[in-house]
Structure 1
Amino acid sequence: MKFSRLVLPGVTMIAVTYGLARFSFGLLLPGINESLEMSEFVSGIISSLFYLAYCVTIILSTVITTKEGPRRMIILAGLSAFVGLLLMGITPNAWMLALGVLLAGGSTGLVSPPYGAAISLWIQEDKQGKANTWINSGTSLGIVLSGAGAIFLTPHWRLTYLIYAVLTLLILIWNFRAIPKVGTSSRLKFRKGDLTLRGVKGATPLIVASLTLGISTAAFWTFSRSFIEVAGDYSDWQLSGFWVIIGLFGVLGGFSGSLVEKGGLSLAYKIGSLAIASSPIILSFAPGSLLMSYLSAGIFGCSYIFLTGALLVWGIRVFITNASLGIGVPFLLLAVGQVIGSIFAGWFIGTWGYATSFIIYGLVGIVAALMGPKKN
C-alpha cells in the first residue's frame, strides 16, 4: 500500500481521538462547569474517566486486534469519538457528560493498537518505524486544533464539541474507505499474534520505563497550565497559546522515526527522556515568564510525541510477532503511570508548591532516561 494512503487518514484519526475527544476537555472545562453548575469535585471525577476508559479500551483493542485484525477497531474508535463528542455537545447534565467522556476517552485506547497492526500488514518493513511515529504525531495536530478552538470558541463550548463531532465523522468516513479488509488480497493474510507477556525478552524493561515515563509526565499534562496561571499575569489567549505551543512543537516529534533509523533506538530514547525531564524543571524556575513557559511547552510537546514514538518502535521490536501488543503494552503502562503521577502531583503541590513538585517530576524523568533499551 502507498505510504500516504494509510498514514494520512491515520494521522487525522489520532488527531480527533486524542486531541479533540480527549485533550480538549481541560481547555473547555471552565465553561462546562459554569453551564452545568458542576463542583470541582464532580468535574475532577468526570476528568478521571478519560484515563479509566483509556486503560480499559486499550486492553480490549489489543486483544480484538490480535484476533481479528485492525479494521474493526479503527472504525469503532472513530465511532466512539463521534458519539462521545456529540453527547458532550448536547448534554443537559453531568451524567450525560460523563457518558460522553467515557466514549470519547475510550476512543483513544481503541485506536492505537490497530494502527500498529495495519502498518505491519500494509507498509514496507523499512518504512514501518517512520509510519508509526508519524501517525503517533497526529496527537499534536489534535492538540493544536483543540487549542485553537479554545482561543476562538471558548464561550461556546457546545458549538465547539458539535464542530469537533462533525469533523470526526468526516475522518471516520475517510478511514472507513482507506483501511482495507484483511483477506481482500491473496497476498495478505492476518496472522494471529500471541497475547502472552511470559518469556518475551525485553518486556520487563519496556514496562518499567513506560510506567516511569508516565509518572514523570503527569504533572505537566495535568497542572502546567494551572501553574503558569497562578504564577504569572497571563491573558486567556496566552494561556490557551501555551497549549497550542505544546501541539505545534509536538509535530516535530514525528521525526523520531528518522532518528531511530539513523542513530538507533537507544540514543533516541535517551534524548527524548532527557528532553522531557528538562521541561518541568525549566518551568519551575520561570513560570511567570511568557518566553520561558512557552519554551518549556515547546520542549515538552516535541519530546512527548518524540518519546512515545520511540516507545512505540521499542514495543514493536520487543513483541515482534504482535504489533498491536507492542503498542498496547507501553501505551497502557504510560497511562497507568500518568494516573499514579497525577494523584501524587496534587498531593505534592498542596504540600510543597508547584515549583518543588515540578522539579521532583523532572528528576523522575531523568531516572527514566536510565531505563531505556540497551540495544539499537
Structure 2
Amino acid sequence: MSLSAGSRIGIAGAAVVGVAFGMARYAYGVTLPDIRQELHLSEPVLGLIASATFSGYLAALLLVGPLTARRGSRAPTTVGGVCGALGAIIVAMAHAPWILAAGAVLAGSAGGWVWAPYSDIVTKIVARQQQPRALAMITTGTGGGLVVLGGLSALAVLGSWRLIWVGVALAAVIAAVVNLRLVPRTIPHARSDGQRGALWVARALPVPACYSVVYFGVIVVYFTYAADVLGSGSVPAAAVPALYAAVGISGLVAVATGAMAKRAGSMRLAGLCLVAVGVALALLGLAGDSLGATAVSACIFGVGYMTGSAVLAVWTAELVPARAGAAFTGCLIVGAVSSAVAPALAGAALPSVGLGPLLVLTAAVSLFSGVALVLRGRR
C-alpha cells in the first residue's frame, strides 16, 4: 500500500526537522557542562557561542528565499542536512573555542535551512484538508529528535560528550537521504520571498511575530541551561538524558495541533503553549534539585514547546495560505533574532543574578505573554 503525498512529505519532513531542531540545534545545551569543564570556557563565552548558533540559524533563514527561487523548495532541506552533518563533525573534533564555535554555528544553521521550506512544499503538493496534519507531523519530528538526543546523552555518560555530536552527524546524513527519496522536486519561484516576507510579516502579522519573539527566546533559555540546573543539584547524572527524552515523548501530542487549533483557535492555543513553557521554567528554577519537579517540568515543557512550534506553522498557513512560506519564514526570522539575543543576555546576567532567579524571570515573561494571547484570542 503506497503512502499518500501528505504522509511521505510528513515522514521526510519529520526526519529532517527532527535532526535539525531536536538534535543539532540543542545538542550544545546538552553538552554544555562537559564543554565548560574540558575546554575551560567562561559563562560569557559559552553564552556568546550559544547566541552565535542562532545567528547561523538566522543567516540560513535569510538565504532560504534566494536558494528556493533558483533551485526549488527541496534544495534548502538538502543544504540543511549537509550543514547539520558537517557542523556536528567539526564540534566532535574541536579542541579550541573558535573551532567549537564554527561547528556549532554551522550545525545550528541547519534548522534555518529546513523548516520554512516545508510550508511551501506542503501547500503546493498536499491536499488542502491534509495540510494541517502534515505540518503538525513535520514539526513533531522535533520530539523524536529529542528522544534520540536523550539516548545519545545516556551513551555519552559512559564515554565522551563528543559521541553525542557524532550521533547527530550520522542522523543528519540518514535524514537527508530519506528526504531526497520521499520529497519530489518543486518548481522554483520566480522571485525570492525570504527577506520580503520578514518585512511583510512584521506589518501584516504583528501578533504571530510578537509570539515568535517571546516563544523562541524563552525556549532557548530552557534548553541552554536545563542541563546546568540538573548538574548543579543532587539529581543523578542520568537525569539529563532522561529530561530530553521526556521533553521529546511528551511533545509528541503536538501531532494533534491541527485539530486543537481548529477547536480552540490558533491564537489561544499559542497563548496556552507560552503558559505551559512558563510553568516549566518556573519549576526548573524553583525546584531544579528535585527529581520529581524536574520530570514534571520536562513533560509540561515538551507539550508547550512542541505544540507551540507546530501551531505557528498552522497559524501562519491559516492567515495567508497563498504565501504560507513567506509568512512562516518572516516569523522564524523574528524568532531567530530573539533566539540569538536571549542566550547572550542570559550569559551576561548569570554571574550576578544566579541561574534560579534567571529562569524564574524568564518564566514570568512567558506566563504574562501567554495570558495576554489567551485573552486576546477570546475576543
Normalised by the size of structure 1, how large is the TM-score? 0.87
Is contact 1:317-1:326 (8 Å) kept?
no
Residues 324-351 of structure 1, C-alpha deviations (whole Å, 9 max, x = no match): 2222122222232233333343455444
1:186 maps to: none
Matched, 1:249 2:250: yes
Q: Provide, for residues 199-231 of structure 1, a one-character-per-residue CA deviation record: whole Å limited to 9, x for no partner.
A: 98741222222112233334322223323433x
How far does residue 93 in structure 1 lie from its aligned partner after superposition? 4.0
1:60 to 54, 57, 63: 63
Quote the Cα distance in structure 1 between the aligned partners of 2:357 and 2:201: 40
1:167 match? 171
Deviation at 1:9, TM superposition (A): 1.2
2:200–2:330 contact (8 Å) kept in structure 1:
no
Among candidates 104, 128, 137, match of residue 134 of structure 1:
137
Matched, 1:51 2:54: yes
- In terms of mean alpha carbon deviation, does 113-122 or 87-96 score higher? 87-96
Who is 2:268 aligned against? 267
Q: Secondary structure at the match of 1:10?
A: helix
RMSD: 2.8
The correspondence for 1:225, drawn from 211, 221, 227, is: 227
Alignment: residue pair count = 370
| 1:86-97 matches, cutoff 5 A | 86-91=89-94, 93-97=96-100
Matching residue of 1:151: 154
Structure 1 pair 282–8 and aligned structure 2 pair: CA distance change class (3 A): same
**Equivalent residue, structure 2, for 1:69:** 72
Structure 1 gap ranges (5+):
184-188
* Partner in structure 2 of residue 215 of structure 1: 217
Does the CA-based 8 Å contact 1:265-1:375 persist in structure 2? no
Identity %: 22
Aligned partners of 1:242 and 1:293 also within 8 Å: yes
Query: How many Å apart are 1:301 and its aligned residue?
Result: 1.5
**1:165 partner amino acid:** A
Are the equivalent residues in 2 in contact too, given 1:218–1:341 (CA < 8 A)? yes
1:12 maps onto 2:15 in alignment: yes
- Deviation of 1:35 (Å): 5.2
Q: CA deviation at 1:57?
A: 0.7
How many angstroms apart in 2 are the aligned matches of 1:354 and 1:32? Answer: 18
Deviations, residues 134-193 of structure 1 (Å, cap 9, x unaligned): 21111121111112111112423344433332332122111112121124xxxxx96757
Quote the offset at 1:362 in angstroms: 1.9
How far 1:303 sits from its partner (Å)? Answer: 0.5
Task: Judge which range, 263-272 or 144-153, deviates more.
Answer: 263-272
Matched, 1:24 2:27: yes
- Residue pair 1:62, 1:113 contacting (<8 A) in 2 also: no
Q: Spell out, residue by residue over 1:74-104, the C-alpha distance to the aligned partner (whole angstroms, 9 max, x if none).
A: 1111111122222233445444333322221
Gapped regions of structure 2 (runs ≥ 5): none
Matched, 1:177 2:178: no
